[in-house]
């Protein structure tokens, strides 16, 4: 799978006063990519496409280069204290992706060029929490590795965090294009996580992302480069043969990664959805095989009275019993950060 190249790029005029904005403008002009200007990276109007579905697909191939004005970082539980905003949106087409609902009708990919201002804000948060460590998550609203070959922002963020004794960075990716990050001066402050899943889930529900085997190859390289490594298995799904496939996944990871390496983390998230997500998924991926049958699910009330459909207790217990057992047997040294 080739790294992502947008079909159309928008620039905010202010973005052109930053070095990264200028660099991206030069790059896309040279490549002959159509370039438009926009007053705000939050309001892109007039994207081509004759139906909602076509507009959605085109938006996911559209890059918007802007200045991040809101410098108040969102919180990011449970994996970090704050979300560091480097980008919003993703070129992947994972049917279950939570960005379907969080980005609403703005699925285009926004990248922010005012990195120094974003880092200055991160430094404020670090100082506020000192002497506690502050963890920043870079993949709350995007997959930052998927666009790294265009912006180089993630490498700069890794190197910024390396200079901060009380800061840690983490992100997760489904893309295997990691080579430009391998020589980053990370000083162990960045945990590089890969999102992996059973073969069935990757093949059915994760179009436009790197194949599983490539992600595992990339994880090997990242581990060799000395980054603390982690895997997120999400969403964990129940389907015919799920037990064999998840165990096979862990076996495959264990065969690929050298034993006795530094502490490895696993984060495990079972599949869940809301009624809004279901509606959007069915609109955008009408042929999806994603199982979203409320009658087979248990209701769980979240914040603001929102209902999520999770697996029934019996299925949930099976997942919570089996996955940790397989992880313990293939990776005795690993830590399960959470399972939900």
Contacts with ligand SF4 by CB under 6 A lie at: 90, 92, 94, 97, 99, 143, 174, 209
- 25, two tokens: 């403008």
**CB nearer ligand SF4, residue 99 or residue 126:** 99
**CB nearer ligand SF4, residue 92 or residue 228:** 92
Distance between CA atoms of 6 and 110, rounded to whole angstroms?
A: 11
Residue 8: phi and psi, rounded to 5, are -150, 140
**CB nearer ligand SF4, residue 189 or residue 193:** 193
Distance between CA atoms of 134 and 85, rounded to whole angstroms?
A: 15
**CB nearer ligand SF4, residue 158 or residue 281:** 281
Q: How far is the CB of 99 from ligand SF4 (least distance, A)?
A: 5
Q: How far is the CB of 209 from ligand SF4 (least distance, A)?
A: 5
**CB nearer ligand SF4, residue 194 or residue 227:** 194
- Helices (H) and strands (E) counted in the chain, each on its own, are 11, 15
Residue 21: phi and psi, rounded to 5, are -60, -45
Q: How far is the CB of 37 from ligand SF4 (least distance, A)?
A: 26
**CB nearer ligand SF4, residue 21 or residue 92:** 92
Assess contact for 87 and 135: CB atoms under 8 A: no
Q: Which residue carries 């699925």 as its tokens? A: 107
Strands (E), the chain: 8-11, 35-37, 62-66, 75-76, 80-83, 87-88, 109-112, 134-137, 167-173, 190-196, 229-236, 264-270, 297-301, 307-311, 335-339
Distance between CA atoms of 18 and 231, rounded to whole angstroms?
A: 35
Q: How far is the CB of 91 from ligand SF4 (least distance, A)?
A: 7
Q: How far is the CB of 220 from ligand SF4 (least distance, A)?
A: 20
Q: How far is the CB of 163 from ligand SF4 (least distance, A)?
A: 28
**CB nearer ligand SF4, residue 97 or residue 257:** 97
Q: Identify which of 130, 129, 133, 180 has the alpha carbon closest to the alpha carbon of residue 154.
A: 180
Residue 227: phi and psi, rounded to 5, are -70, 140
Angle in degrees, CA 57, 147, 157, rounded to 5: 145
Q: How far is the CB of 262 from ligand SF4 (least distance, A)?
A: 25
- 183, two tokens: 């020589």
**CB nearer ligand SF4, residue 97 or residue 169:** 97
Q: How far is the CB of 234 from ligand SF4 (least distance, A)?
A: 9
Sheet containing 167-173, strands listed edge to edge, beginning at the edge strand earlier in sequence: 75-76, 80-83, 134-137, 167-173, 190-196, 229-236, 264-270, 335-339
């Amino acid at each position: 799978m080739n790294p992502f190249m947008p079909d159309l790029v928008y620039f905010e005029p202010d973005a052109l006063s930053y070095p990264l904005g200028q660099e991206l403008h030069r790059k896309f002009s040279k490549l002959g990519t159509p370039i438009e200007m926009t007053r705000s990276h939050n309001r892109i109007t007039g994207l081509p496409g004759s139906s909602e579905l076509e507009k959605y697909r085109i938006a996911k191939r559209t890059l918007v280069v802007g200045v991040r004005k809101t410098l108040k970082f969102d919180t990011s539980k449970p994996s970090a204290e704050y979300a560091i905003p480097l980008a919003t949106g993703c070129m992947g087409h994972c049917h279950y992706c939570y960005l379907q609902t969080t980005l609403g009708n703005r699925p285009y990919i926004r990248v922010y060029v005012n990195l120094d201002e974003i880092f200055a804000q991160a430094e404020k948060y670090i100082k506020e929490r000192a002497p506690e460590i502050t963890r920043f998550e870079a993949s709350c609203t995007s997959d930052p590795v998927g666009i790294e070959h265009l912006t180089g922002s993630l490498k700069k963020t890794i190197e910024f965090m390396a200079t901060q004794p009380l800061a840690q960075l983490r992100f997760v990716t489904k893309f295997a294009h990691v080579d430009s990050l391998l020589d980053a001066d990370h000083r162990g402050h960045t945990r590089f996580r890969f999102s992996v899943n059973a073969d069935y889930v990757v093949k059915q529900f994760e179009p436009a992302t790197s194949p599983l085997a490539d992600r595992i190859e990339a994880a090997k390289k990242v581990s060799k480069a000395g980054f603390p490594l982690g895997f997120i298995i999400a969403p964990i799904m129940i389907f015919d043969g799920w037990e064999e496939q998840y165990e096979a996944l862990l076996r495959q990871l264990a065969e690929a990664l050298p034993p006795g390496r530094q502490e490895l983390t696993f984060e495990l998230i079972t599949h869940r959805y809301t009624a809004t997500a279901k509606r959007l998924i069915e609109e955008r991926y009408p042929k999806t095989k994603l199982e979203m049958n409320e009658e087979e699910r248990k209701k769980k009330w979240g914040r603001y009275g929102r209902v999520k459909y999770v697996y029934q207790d019996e299925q949930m217990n099976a997942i919570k019993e089996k996955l940790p057992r397989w992880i313990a047997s293939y990776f005795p040294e690993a830590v399960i950060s959470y399972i939900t």
